[in-house]
């Protein structure tokens, strides 16, 4: 049986996957959401991959896994696939995700290509003495959740913002431990109205790694706004 391991992006935790997790579980699939140690300074992709592998170990009935990374989680799930190999990994699914390049850090990538992030993204973040960043509530609504607030009721947006936490950035400044793109099927979910990760860049990045592209309407957080549609994409990735 195929199991699903859901990896969140920056400032979030596993709770952002709750609706997708419930949808997959309701269809009879083993599924787990991962809490990355993302608020702890000094931890990067290897530590994040350790957390993903520990979560995957809670799915003993899953002979193969679909590893799903949202946004910053895209820097981690290929590293997990590299460790596990194609015998265990059925597919990688990148959801509005960043894509690591062997031999480079994410910061290197951004310096080389300013089109990765949507124009204006990042305004309103607060930086703390330990190097972590966070979002004041109003800035999160107008910045991190730009556009998404039009797809969700106000109380749902407020609840999502209330669950945000600090994000540390070793994951961005370190050279990725990924040595080559894993030899597994990769699906890139491009959100056509994404105002965090630029959709045009996502399409180009997908072509660069040979990923199949699935486009969903709406903004950066389809696990919140379109959980059933996203679950359909994940199941299709595991079945093909």
**Domain harbouring 96, CATH code:** 3.40.50.1820
Residues 6+ apart with CB under 8 A from 124: 135, 136, 138, 139, 140, 142, 143
- Percent of the chain exceeding pLDDT 90 equals 96
Residue 114 has a CB neighbour count (10 Å cut-off) of 10
Residue 28: HSE in the Cβ half-sphere, 13 Å Cα cutoff: 1
- Total domains in the chain come to 1
Closest alpha carbon to 51 in 28, 71, 29, 67 = 67
Is residue 165 assigned to a domain? no
What would the pLDDT profile of 59-99 be if each residue is shown by its tens digit? Answer: 999 999 999 999 999 999 999 999 999 999 999 999 999 99
Is residue 42 assigned to a domain? yes
Is residue 73 assigned to a domain? yes
Place of tokens 């749902």: 156
Is residue 142 assigned to a domain? no
Provide the β-strand partners of residue 186.
92
pLDDT at 149 over 90: no
Global pTM value: 0.98
d(CA 32, CA 25): 9
Is residue 192 assigned to a domain? yes
Is residue 91 assigned to a domain? yes
Cα distances (Å, whole numbers) of residue 227 to 22, 75, 165, 224, 231? 9, 22, 22, 6, 6
Residue 191's domain comprises: 2-118+171-239
What would the pLDDT profile of 98-125 be if each residue is shown by its tens digit? Answer: 999 999 999 999 999 999 999 999 999 9
Is residue 229 assigned to a domain? yes
What would the pLDDT profile of 153-182 be if each residue is shown by its tens digit? Answer: 999 999 999 999 999 999 999 999 999 999
Q: What is the mean pLDDT of residues 193-201?
A: 97
Is residue 134 assigned to a domain? no
Place of tokens 């039009």: 150
């Amino acid at each position: 049986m195929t199991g699903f391991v859901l990896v969140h992006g920056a400032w979030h935790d596993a709770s952002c996957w709750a609706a997708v997790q419930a949808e997959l579980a309701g269809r009879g699939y083993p599924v787990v959401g991962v809490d990355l140690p993302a608020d702890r300074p000094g931890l990067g992709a290897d530590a994040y991959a350790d957390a993903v592998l520990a979560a995957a170990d809670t799915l003993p009935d899953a002979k193969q896994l679909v590893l799903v990374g949202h946004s910053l989680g895209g820097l981690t799930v290929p590293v997990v696939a590299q460790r596990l190999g194609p015998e265990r990994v059925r597919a990688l699914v990148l959801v509005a995700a960043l894509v690591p390049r062997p031999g480079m850090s994410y910061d290197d990538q951004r310096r080389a290509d300013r089109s990765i992030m949507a124009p204006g993204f990042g305004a309103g973040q607060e930086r703390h003495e330990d190097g972590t960043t966070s979002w004041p509530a109003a800035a999160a609504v107008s910045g991190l959740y730009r556009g998404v607030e039009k797809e969700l009721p106000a109380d749902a947006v407020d609840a999502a913002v209330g669950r945000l936490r600090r994000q540390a950035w070793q994951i961005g400044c370190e050279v990725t431990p990924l040595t080559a793109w894993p030899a597994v099927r990769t699906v890139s979910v491009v959100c056509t109205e994404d105002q965090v990760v630029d959709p045009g860049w996502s399409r180009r990045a997908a072509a660069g790694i040979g990923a199949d592209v699935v486009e969903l309407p709406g903004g950066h957080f389809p696990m919140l706004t379109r959980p059933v549609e996203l679950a359909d994409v994940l199941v299709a990735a595991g079945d093909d």
